[in-house]
Structure 1
């Protein structure tokens, strides 16, 4: 692991960082000459650090703080190893880490371990999920009182209009996207297609499919960090917040997944357009857990501003073939790539928790051989369907009591996430919408 540092002697400092429940990077800055100690022994910080609120404050009634003496966890490097941090001026390296108990057991309140636990269920059955994510984000000029589209470095103008799939919009920020793709290559993030989206200064980049869901979540987490950091180097902000502009579409984080058996065959592929019984079972599991998992897919106050009818965000629990108004879409195309697209999450999610919720729900359905209702046709917004929670409090309550969620996440994870979100709900109610946006702009 330290070979990377020896090959990059210009790197003088490293950051060791883990994702907390909100997907925020929590960790330390360390001189690179002390890297050997970190890679061999790990590092330590309080378990409660992975359970801070969006402001970085302790959770008032959490048993992880005073009740337990604010005890340390042991954080060890993930398989990813060192990577550059191209958004910083000084050459630096990032070492992703995750948390363990003192006795070596994984800490169940670590989001990465939550996903690992779901993947262990697949592995025990000889199955491997293959995942790809689509990340939408906004480029924003936040230098003034109101958020707006940045001035184009090419034209010197500010284009205040939606630019769906516009080559011109991409070219307006060509230097940023060129630097972004170069940085993704340096960090080994598999960035694929970029398009402009329907919001002001909104873009989407797809990450290539991966047969290691932990790595796919790592890629999404690192990509969000990279985009936000690199945008600042270019003189503007980037944000994955769900809904920065009231009158335009919000940002989603759609997930495509299939499942391979021990022979490497796609168990959703029946050789035709419909997919196998197993695909339907997975769909049924996703639908059963969808309302209960809404807090994972919509984790912030701003998240629910995106979940409104006719907004390209699903509001009803349903599935369909080749229909983007549905919460779960089965894309057309080659039967060999038959897969499920889960379209509920906003761009503001924690990728580890999101993939754990999606893949865990699908596995529940496969395990139970559950059957979904008939797929819908036409406009899902006009159909009489079970509705996703429309407010934060309801989502918190549903998550806490959902039996499907209890099969996916450890009790400590459920407790910690609920306590975190109830504290955030309490304090967000004291803020104006403008103050809320200011917080979410940089954090999510």
Structure 2
């Protein structure tokens, strides 16, 4: 998974008989461009323009390096780290792929290290999906593939080098996607992120190298071992064990029932005309809507005794 997060310099909140509020702050935030900092040296990252900036605009390179080195010392292999799109210290550190359960273990360790290294620097890290209004939220993009006897089963000669089995897997996730959001996006704040215009995939379609589709097919390499799908809807508030298991069961249901996802949508889904967009299934607009979708569609989760009726 690619679990994004923010590192803030100041976090304040209160709820009392006279009112309630929350406020976060960051030296990088564009909202501080006019603040007296004695001196204010500028270099504020504008909204939606924080992808891969270099220092001095990126003030957290050293913190991310420290997190990365500590995770490596703890046996968590890291592929890359970088500043993310949003202002105010959004970041991403990518964990190398592993089996489902070990990935869940590593995600929990990852969150622990991120929070505590940030705290050591007098800062606060949060995996809250949408802490800032008007800028990108934090997702947990889940890359996944199935292997058998050392062979990648998603590699084939179809669209984006996918096998028929991979397409059925995608079909299962798309069919059950609305129900999945109750598990992969489990907070009220999760649905503040799932709105158009902030690179959050709200449309359940698949496409190669298309960040507006909920399922993106990375095509960086022609190596069959690199063929995979990326479900971009989940966020890091999710329990990684439950979120990954639920996605796998949805995909396996697609394979078992040969659910074809239809044709890919190789367009910017955010720019589709309303009439065309209405034909594309979309995410619920609230946690209540997600819970209602799960109530109607959860039989696929009960297979293999992974989830129980009481748990759902």
Tell which structure's C-alpha radius of gyration is larger.
Answer: 1
State the distance in 2 between where 1:157 and 1:170 align.
Answer: 10
Residue 156 (structure 2) pairs with residue 270 (structure 1):
yes
Matched residue SS, 2:282 = coil
Say if 1:298 and 1:143 are closer, same or farther in 2 by CA, change over 3 A. closer
Q: Report the counterpart of residue 166 of structure 2 in structure 1.
A: 279
Q: Report the counterpart of residue 229 of structure 2 in structure 1.
A: 340
Say if 1:151 and 1:310 are closer, same or farther in 2 by CA, change over 3 A. closer
Q: Which moved more, 1:156-165 or 1:249-258?
A: 156-165
Q: C-alpha deviations, 1:368-398, integer Å up to 9, x for none?
A: 2221121112112323311210011111121
Residue 279 (structure 2) pairs with residue 388 (structure 1):
no
Q: Report the counterpart of residue 139 of structure 1 in structure 2.
A: 7
Residue 307 (structure 2) pairs with residue 409 (structure 1):
yes
Q: Which runs of 5+ in 1 are unaligned?
A: 1-132, 415-444
Q: Which runs of 5+ in 2 are unaligned?
A: 13-21, 30-38
Matched residue SS, 2:4 = strand
State the distance in 2 between where 1:182 and 1:375 align.
Answer: 39
Matched residue SS, 1:291 = helix
State the distance in 1 between where 2:261 and 2:222 align.
Answer: 23
Using structure 1 for the length normalisation, give the TM-score.
0.59
Q: Report the counterpart of residue 35 of structure 1 in structure 2.
A: none
Q: C-alpha deviations, 1:223-256, integer Å up to 9, x for none?
A: 0111112111110100111000011000000011
Q: Report the counterpart of residue 18 of structure 2 in structure 1.
A: none
The answer to whether the 8 A contact 2:139-2:235 is kept is yes
Give the C-alpha shift of residue 335 in structure 1.
Answer: 4.2
Which residue, out of 78, 98, 104, partners 1:191?
78
Give the C-alpha shift of residue 173 in structure 1.
Answer: 2.0
Residue 98 (structure 2) pairs with residue 202 (structure 1):
no
Give the C-alpha shift of residue 188 in structure 1.
Answer: 1.1
Q: Report the counterpart of residue 26 of structure 2 in structure 1.
A: 149
Q: C-alpha deviations, 1:134-154, integer Å up to 9, x for none?
A: 1111011234562122479xx
Aligned residues: 278
Using structure 2 for the length normalisation, give the TM-score.
0.83
Q: Which moved more, 1:240-249 or 1:344-353?
A: 344-353
Q: Following superposition of structure 1 onto structure 2, how do residues 116-265 of structure 1 map, counting pairs within 5 Å?
A: 133-144=1-12, 146-150=23-27, 159-161=44-46, 162-168=49-55, 172-200=59-87, 201-210=89-98, 212-262=99-149, 264-265=150-151
The answer to whether the 8 A contact 1:163-1:169 is kept is no
